[in-house]
Amino acid sequence: MAPQVIVIGAGVIGSACAYYLSQAGASVTLIDQGDVGSGTSSRCDGNVLAIDKEPGYDSLMALMSQRLLHELASVLPPFEYRRPGSYLVCDNDEEAKAAWDWVGQQQEAGLPFWYLDRAAIHSHLPHLASDVPAGLYCGSDSTLNPLLYTQRLVQAAKQHGCQVRVHQAVTEIVVNRGAVAGVRLADGTVLVADVVVVAAGVWSPRLLQPLGVTVPIQPRKGHLLVSAKGPLFGDAKVMEFGYLMSKFGRERQAPEDALRYGVALVYEPTESHNFLLGSSRELGVWDTAPKWDVVQAIGRRALRFYPGMQQATLIRSYAGLRPWTPDHLPVVSRVSDIAGLVIAAGHEGDGIGLASVTGHLVCDLTLERPPIIDPRPLRWDRPALTSWKDGGADG
Amino acid sequence: MDEEIKVERSSAVVVCRCEHLTWDAIEEAMAMFQPTSLRQLKLVTRWGMGICQGRMCRPIMAAFEQREENASLGALAVRPPFKPVSLGTLGRMGEDA
């Protein structure tokens, strides 16, 4: 008989889980405390990146997700999926050297990366500030509209029989004799299930903690700015290499306000002819209200790389809570002591990009099929997570 | 908005000028996605996401919300900046303070 599965969280991760599970014949209920895609998945950009992943497992997972996404794009109704590739641009010569090394490592791993010297980067990206010394290009990267993508996954899941319950908060995962029995809702109702998938992003630890399952996922607030419709500054997405320096905790040269809020340039042109500007990183912040200081720091950083944006019009800003983990890998895992409990959370800024591989893997783990990628590095009880002590990380 | 705005169903009336949306498009999205909030309707149609940030379309959508079958759709948050600003101006703000 088809297992009864409850997926908690209708963000992009939970929606992808619901899609793959219901398509595989499971009987799925998708629950969210708000609307479909109303949390982190609608306060983000549409990056689907391999360019920023370390060669090895990290990049393998990203490439697998890109492959699955490419398949989804041919099956689901449109969600503004495109594959323009992506660029990283360097602020200074030191970053140019690091970028050279980075491309070398990626090429050795057989990935479609190219180093672009001064002449090449300016011919690829004519709007860039003239003092940018170098950059690099990754040919596999794609982009999509995350709002639509999430809705499309849920729509398709529904067509496969998935039940969707919105504005219903789960207050407790009910466990009976070492096995999941269902979930309790705020009004006291208990929904019965064989499997419960916790895909609640930054809110996941609250559901897991009472079961004795500690997962060090923390909110990392990130801001984005939206321009008015108008001329774009190129069709591909562009990020600054310094973002990698901060992601991997290396010394980075940047203005004080950029360093304080972890601000690094992200430029993302959208199909609606607005462009998005990011990005910022503030660990441990729960408030999603945009902060003007941070918005300004992002604007200034954009002008450093794109002086021509002086006249571009900003119409909106927003901020979301990325589910951070200490080793920057998500948790996609069964919990061995509690039969039927599956975790799919902690994707930080990669939820949109990694949703497809996550949804597929959760489906594999739930239905006990051969996993599409090795699930061991994503276990909830891996040493990088169990040994982590609060306050010990710099983000 | 004291005056009530009446909108005919299935009309070609433009709801959101910035994003070129008619009532038909809104109705179509309602049927296709069955959104449970105005915000979710916004995410799939882009109403209110243009340069006017809802100045033109909010009153019209309020009329939509007042229709009985849409009463539970709720309101929409307002996000800064409250009027469009150029990046150049944004970058210089607070510098001479």
Q: What is the model's pLDDT at position A393?
A: 47
Report how far apart, in Å, the C-alpha atoms of B69 and of each of A55, B14, B31, B77 are.
53, 21, 12, 21
Residue A108 Cα to chain centre, angstroms: 26
Contact A314 B90 (CB under 8 A): yes
B76 lies in some domain: yes
Chain B closest-CA separation from residue A170 CA (Å) = 18
C-alpha span between A39 and A167 (Å, rounded): 12
Chain B closest-CA separation from residue A147 CA (Å) = 6
Categorize the per-residue pLDDT at B1 as very low, low, confident or very high, splitting at 50, 70 and 90.
Answer: very low
Domains of chain A (ranges, CATH numbers): 4-45+147-216+327-386 (3.50.50.60), 86-139+218-324 (3.30.9.10)
Q: pLDDT tens digit string along A182-239? A: 999 999 999 999 999 999 999 999 999 999 999 999 999 999 999 999 899 999 999 9
B64 lies in some domain: yes
Residues above pLDDT 90, as percent of chain A: 91
B5 lies in some domain: no
B8 lies in some domain: no
Tell me if residue A76 falls in helix, strand or coil: coil
A292 touches chain B (CB under 8 A): yes
C-alpha span between A345 and A329 (Å, rounded): 10
Q: What is the model's pLDDT at position B97?
A: 46
A376 touches chain B (CB under 8 A): no
Residue B3 pLDDT greater than 70, yes or no: no
Q: What is the model's pLDDT at position A251?
A: 81
Using DSSP bridges, classify how beta strands A135-138 and A113-116 pair: parallel, antiparallel or unpaired: antiparallel
Categorize the per-residue pLDDT at A45 as very low, low, confident or very high, splitting at 50, 70 and 90.
Answer: very high
Residue A7 pLDDT greater than 60, yes or no: yes
Least confident span in A200-209, A250-259, A298-307: A250-259
**What is chain A's mean pLDDT, rounded?**
94
Residue B71 pLDDT greater than 70, yes or no: no
Chain A closest-CA separation from residue B68 CA (Å) = 20
For B70, the domain range is 14-92
C-alpha span between B68 and B61 (Å, rounded): 13
Give the strands of the sheet with A195-198, arranged side by side: A163-165, A27-31, A4-8, A195-198, A341-345, A331-334
Least confident span in A130-139, A321-330, B50-59: B50-59
Categorize the per-residue pLDDT at A13 as very low, low, confident or very high, splitting at 50, 70 and 90.
Answer: very high
C-alpha span between A262 and A343 (Å, rounded): 28
Q: What is the model's pLDDT at position B55?
A: 83
Residue B7 pLDDT greater than 70, yes or no: no
B48 lies in some domain: yes
Spell out which residues of chain A touch residue B49, defining contact as CB-CB under 8 Å: 226, 272, 274, 316
